[in-house]
């Protein structure tokens, strides 16, 4: 694939060259993630939820009516969130999730998506699907498969952190 020399540098108005192609790749990945995130945020925020709150709702919908413990939700988040309890507090205030203490272990709290949360998710399913398609719309099917493989490889190496 031909290199688009200087495109990222121009986008971020960087006048000095990158230290390496790996640095350019890492910064390009962060920049691209931000572009995708902004597109998805524009879809969910008019419905009164943040992208992280939407992620929690999707996780809980997938868990079914039995719900999940708080720490399990945190482990499944797309972006790690040290404030999972606050996220859940806000969703509960909006009546989009419910929480109950586990009868066998009162220290454990089970969370589940409410009927209102399910209705919100149903309303967002198609707009989010369209945003996902738009985000990667310029890529061929083969490009998408390569992208997934490359992103998997980066995460497998812990992303340099």
Q: Please, are residues 79 and 131 in contact by the beta-carbon 8 Å criterion? A: no
Q: What DSSP state is assigned to residue 2?
A: -
pLDDT for the residue 66 = 87
Query: What residue numbers bound the domain in which 80 lies?
Result: 48-160
SS3 call for 138: coil
Q: In total, how many domains does the chain have?
A: 1
Give the domain CATH number at 138.
Answer: 1.10.10.10
Give a yes or no: residue 6 inside a domain.
no
Give a yes or no: residue 9 inside a domain.
no
Q: Please, are residues 77 and 56 in contact by the beta-carbon 8 Å criterion? A: yes
Burial class of residue 86 (count of CB atoms within 10 Å of its CB; 0-12, 13-18, 19+): exposed
> pTM here?
0.85
* Other residues' Cβ atoms within 10 Å of the Cβ of residue 116: 13
Which pLDDT tens digits describe the chain residue by residue (161 residues)? 334 457 887 788 887 888 888 988 898 899 999 999 999 999 999 999 999 999 999 999 999 988 999 989 999 998 887 789 999 999 999 999 999 887 777 778 899 999 999 999 999 999 999 999 999 999 999 999 999 999 999 988 875 55
């Amino acid at each position: 694939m031909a290199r688009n020399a200087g495109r990222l540098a121009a986008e971020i108005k960087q006048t000095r060259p990158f230290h390496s192609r790996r640095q350019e790749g890492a910064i390009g990945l962060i920049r691209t993630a931000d572009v995708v995130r902004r597109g998805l945020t524009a879809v969910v925020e008019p419905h009164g939820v943040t992208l992280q709150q939407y992620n929690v709702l999707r996780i809980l919908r997938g868990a079914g009516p039995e719900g999940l413990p708080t720490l399990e939700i945190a482990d499944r988040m797309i972006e790690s969130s040290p404030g999972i309890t606050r996220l859940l507090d806000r969703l509960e205030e909006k009546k989009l999730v419910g929480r109950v203490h586990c009868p066998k272990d009162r220290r454990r709290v089970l969370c589940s998506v409410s009927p209102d949360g399910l209705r919100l998710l149903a309303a967002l399913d198609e707009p989010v699907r369209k945003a996902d398609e738009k985000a990667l719309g310029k890529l061929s099917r083969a490009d998408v498969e390569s992208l997934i493989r490359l992103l998997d490889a980066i995460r497998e190496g812990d992303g340099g952190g």
